[in-house]
Amino acid sequence: MGRFPEYYNLWHIAGHYALRGFAALVLIFLMLPILVIIPLSFNAEPFFTFTEGMLALDPDAYSLRWYKEIFDDEKWTLAIKNSFIVGFAAAILATLLGTVAAVGLASPWMPYKRLITALLLSPMIVPLIIIAAGMFFFYTQFNLVGTYTGLIIAHAALGVPFVIITVTATLSGFDRSLFIAGLSLGASPVKVFWDVVIPLIRPGVISGGLFAFVTSFDEVVLVLFLAGPEQRTIPRQMFSGLREQINPTILAVATLLVVLSAAMLFTLEALRRRSERMRGEGL
Amino acid sequence: MTDIKSDVFLKFDDVKKSYDQKTLVVKGFNIDVQQGEFITLLGPSGSGKTTVLMMLAGFESVTSGVIAIEGKSINKTAPYLRNIGMVFQNYALFPHMTVAQNLAYPLTVRNMSKADIKARVAEYLALVELEDFGSRFPAQLSGGQRQRVALARAMIFEPTLILMDEPLGALDKNLREQMQYEITRLHKKLGFTVIYVTHDQAEALSMSSRIAVFNDGIVQQCAAPAELYERPSNAFVADFIGENNFIKGQVERISDGLAHVTVPGGATVIAQTSDGLVVGASCQVSVRPEKLFIHPTTHAHDNEMTARFISRIYVGDFIRYYFRLPDGTDIVIKMLNDLSAPEFSDGQDGKLLWLTSDCIAFPAAT
């Protein structure tokens, strides 16, 4: 009984294990739906359930046919291409705008700071469906509905708050005297910004950009409202795929997305550690 | 702004600063600085000294007045074009650059050739005795080393002026003294002009050619360290620089630059006069704790008054005595810890002795 404090009675110990069990259940509840699709995506049969062969671990019951299906089907390849085009463009736009906004908002001379911050962060809080409806009517005025430009701008607007939040967080650790020091050494404000500010807030900029990309990548509501058939993205294709062609292709796509998300999560974590290390050592 | 015709190296002409257009933080600052001088702006926090430094560096605008370098107003010159080096309390080294890259930065900005930069960086690393540290990052250095890098970076582009804003504030006592010596050494060797801001008077006294004592946005006195200590021009300076006793009294008469003052207990003491002293008005006579002696003494003296002994504190190399005057004012006396340091019992009266030349009568604060 060495691992419990000596004053623990049976109830304490029971409580300890109950808490652990409950935490494990929560984790399973959250993870199982995601994990279960991975083996199912390798199903040789067009079913959403485990076949007897799969349960017996028969190699013939598994196949990559649904993965092949993705790349053979024009709808899917178009959706993947669209998702990446829109995602990258929106992420780059959001990163540029969000970084500039965060730097501006961090300035001590910025007027109406709270109001502007609230406005810029609002896309994160306002229900998507409202934004989507609003944008739909607004975009019709400019013939932006059913265009890549429209979708990219809409997704960039959704991504900006994430960039602002992550960049503001890194800027809060930024020592303003570094900027002053740069100027005193003879560099113009723009040069100091590039040489000193950007390298130091880079982790925040990159993770903000990744967030913006992911936001665009799995966004479906705005796409439903604003995109034409030409701009179908992966989530949109999955949405219609669920109703039109019920086969494990969707599961294969989902598995690929899980892998992509996991890769991004690891990138973010690595960036976070890096910035922590730099700040820990800095000063 | 018009240029000022003068051969003064750096000139502040009636410089004022207000943040809210109502109250002045700096109320008319004037100073003429010669090339190579080490000027310290000394004062309590909020006295306006850092604001003066920031106006000179260009990071605060000048509300009125002119700052001129070599006769040319720099009021409208952008900070990065002023060619003024700065050393900060928190070092402000770029954490993502190595020591050598930090030193090279101002030279790169000035488009110096790679070979020249390399040579110059090596030269200045040697100057601050950090030859082997060029490839390290600031985070891998100690506080003292970082401040030496910051110094080198502020000097390396041969600026017109070097400003230092409490550069030793973040260091511990031993390191601080070492760095004072280091800065003095570099200043003597390279002959640059320094404007130094601090609230530490020991630092100011030991390093400066002249000290401007700030209070409430006004320079109370600007003089060499010894003069500031020996001949303070007003009660604030007398109190702020070093320790001082103030004895309240009444001016009886003034003759030959000496004031005859009646002090509590009825005695009359003779003191140096100061500006604004009026016969018949109340005044305060300042005497430094180390200039006071207790009867019996072999030291020369020509003033004396009686006070009651309160306590005696053993400090080590000297002993502090506390006496109380009849009007309740406490008086501190510092005496060397030798055989002549007397013992007193509580409440006993003692005779305090001092020289006329060691005390100054200031008008009482109104």
The proportion of chain B whose per-residue pLDDT surpasses 70, expressed as a percent, equals 98
Interface check for B90 against chain A (CB to CB < 8 A): the answer is yes
Interface check for A108 against chain B (CB to CB < 8 A): the answer is no
Whether residues A89 and A227 share a domain: the answer is yes
Amino acid at A84: F
Q: How many CA atoms lie within 13 A of A78 on its CB side?
A: 11
Could you tell me the CA-to-CA distances from B321 to B171, B281, B311, B360 in Å, in that order? Answer: 32, 30, 6, 21
Task: Give the highest mean pLDDT range of A143-157, B292-306, B327-341.
Answer: A143-157
How confident is the model over A95-150, as pLDDT tens digits?
999 999 999 998 888 899 999 999 999 998 999 999 999 999 999 999 888 899 99
B40 beta partners:
B196, B211
Q: In terms of Cα–Cα distance, which of B50, B31, B51 is closest to B39?
A: B31
Residue B14 · residue B67 · CB < 8 Å = no
Interface check for B139 against chain A (CB to CB < 8 A): the answer is yes
Q: Which of residues 231-260 of A touch B (CB under 8 A)?
A: none
- Given A180, A199, A278, which is nearest B59 (Cβ)? A180
Cα–Cα distance for residue pair B104/B125, rounded to 1 Å: 11
B196 beta partners:
B40, B164
Residue A91 · residue A213 · CB < 8 Å = yes
Chain-wide mean pLDDT for chain B?
89
Whether residues A92 and A231 share a domain: the answer is yes
Indicate the helix (H) or strand (E) that contains A54.
helix A52-55
- Show the DSSP H helices in chain B as ranges: 49-57, 99-109, 114-127, 143-155, 173-190, 201-207, 225-230, 235-240
Which residue would you say has higher pLDDT here, B196 or A108?
A: B196
Instruction: From chain A, pick out residues whose CB is under 8 angstroms from the CB of B90.
Output: 175, 177, 283
Whether residues A141 and A220 share a domain: the answer is yes
pLDDT at residue A265 greater than cutoff 90: no
Whether residues A153 and A55 share a domain: the answer is no
Question: Which residue does chain B place closest to A281, by CA atoms?
Answer: B139
Cα–Cα distance for residue pair A40/A30, rounded to 1 Å: 18
Whether residues A24 and A103 share a domain: the answer is no
- Given A175, A200, A281, which is nearest B92 (Cβ)? A175
Which range (A180-184, B324-328, B337-341) has the least confidence? B337-341
Cα–Cα distance for residue pair A76/B334, rounded to 1 Å: 91
Which residue would you say has higher pLDDT here, B6 or A152?
A: A152
Burial of B355 by CB count in 10 Å (0-12 exposed, 13-18 middle, 19+ buried)? middle
Residue A231 · residue A223 · CB < 8 Å = yes
| A226 in a structural domain | yes
Residue B49 · residue B214 · CB < 8 Å = yes
DSSP state, A62? B
Cβ–Cβ of A181/B109 closer than 8 Å?
A: no
Average pLDDT over residues A201-220: 90
pLDDT at residue B341 greater than cutoff 80: no
Instruction: From chain B, pick out residues whose CB is under 8 angstroms from the CB of A283.
Output: 90-91, 95, 138-139
Which range (A191-195, A260-264, A278-282, B107-111) has the least confidence? A278-282
Model confidence at B45, in pLDDT bands (50, 70, 90)? confident
Whether residues A126 and A165 share a domain: the answer is yes
Whether residues A100 and A163 share a domain: the answer is yes
Interface check for B74 against chain A (CB to CB < 8 A): the answer is no
Task: Give the highest mean pLDDT range of A83-87, A144-148, B272-276.
Answer: A83-87
Whether residues A112 and A231 share a domain: the answer is yes
Average pLDDT over residues A22-29: 95
> What pLDDT was estimated at residue A278?
62
Whether residues A124 and A195 share a domain: the answer is yes
| A184 in a structural domain | yes
Task: Please tell me the pTM assigned to this model.
Answer: 0.76
Q: Which of residues 161-200 of A touch B (CB under 8 A)?
A: 175, 177-178, 180-189, 191, 195-196, 199-200
How confident is the model over B208-224, as pLDDT tens digits?
999 999 888 888 999 99
The pair of three-digit structure tokens given for residue B151, joined into one six-digit string:
């110094």
Q: What count of other Cβ atoms lies within 10 Å of the Cβ of residue B135?
A: 10
Q: Is B265 left (phi over 0), alpha (psi -120 to 50) or beta?
A: left
Q: What is the CATH number of the domain that holds A153?
A: 1.10.3720.10
| A268 in a structural domain | no
Whether residues A29 and A100 share a domain: the answer is no
Domain limits for position A163:
74-246
Strands B258-262 and B268-272: antiparallel
| A1 in a structural domain | no
Model confidence at A160, in pLDDT bands (50, 70, 90)? very high
Cβ–Cβ of B92/A188 closer than 8 Å?
A: no
Residue B356 · residue B271 · CB < 8 Å = yes
Average pLDDT over residues B263-267: 84
Cα–Cα distance for residue pair A34/A37, rounded to 1 Å: 6
Whether residues A43 and A165 share a domain: the answer is no
Amino acid at B124: Y
| A282 in a structural domain | no
At B251, give phi and psi (nearest 5°). -75, 120
Cα–Cα distance for residue pair B330/B40, rounded to 1 Å: 32
Model confidence at B280, in pLDDT bands (50, 70, 90)? confident
Task: Give the highest mean pLDDT range of A58-67, A121-130, B1-10.
Answer: A121-130
| A3 in a structural domain | no
Q: Is the peptide bond before B296 cis (omega within 30 degrees of 0)?
A: yes
Instruction: From chain A, pick out residues whose CB is under 8 angstroms from the CB of B109.
Output: 185-187, 191
Measured between CA atoms, how close is A262 to chain B, in angstroms?
29
> What pLDDT was estimated at residue B47?
85
pLDDT at residue B314 greater than cutoff 50: yes
pLDDT at residue B26 greater than cutoff 70: yes
Cβ–Cβ of A200/B96 closer than 8 Å?
A: yes
The pair of three-digit structure tokens given for residue B213, joined into one six-digit string:
């004592």
> What pLDDT was estimated at residue A202?
87
> What pLDDT was estimated at residue A282?
42
Cα–Cα distance for residue pair A81/B10, rounded to 1 Å: 65
pLDDT at residue B115 greater than cutoff 90: yes
Give chain A's domain count. 2
The proportion of chain A whose per-residue pLDDT surpasses 70, expressed as a percent, equals 95
> What pLDDT was estimated at residue B360?
92
| A234 in a structural domain | yes
| A272 in a structural domain | no
pLDDT at residue A2 greater than cutoff 70: no
Instruction: From chain B, pick out residues whose CB is under 8 angstroms from the CB of A181.
Output: 86, 88, 92-94
Whether residues A40 and A100 share a domain: the answer is no
> What pLDDT was estimated at residue A279?
55
Strands B282-287 and B293-294: unpaired
At B261, give phi and psi (nearest 5°). -120, 130
> What pLDDT was estimated at residue B1?
46
Query: Residues of B290-306 as b/e, b for ≥16 C-beta within 10 angstroms?
Result: ebbbbeeeeeebebebb
Average pLDDT over residues A258-264: 88
Cα–Cα distance for residue pair A45/B16, rounded to 1 Å: 85
How confident is the model over B55-91, as pLDDT tens digits?
999 999 999 999 999 888 999 999 999 999 999 988 9
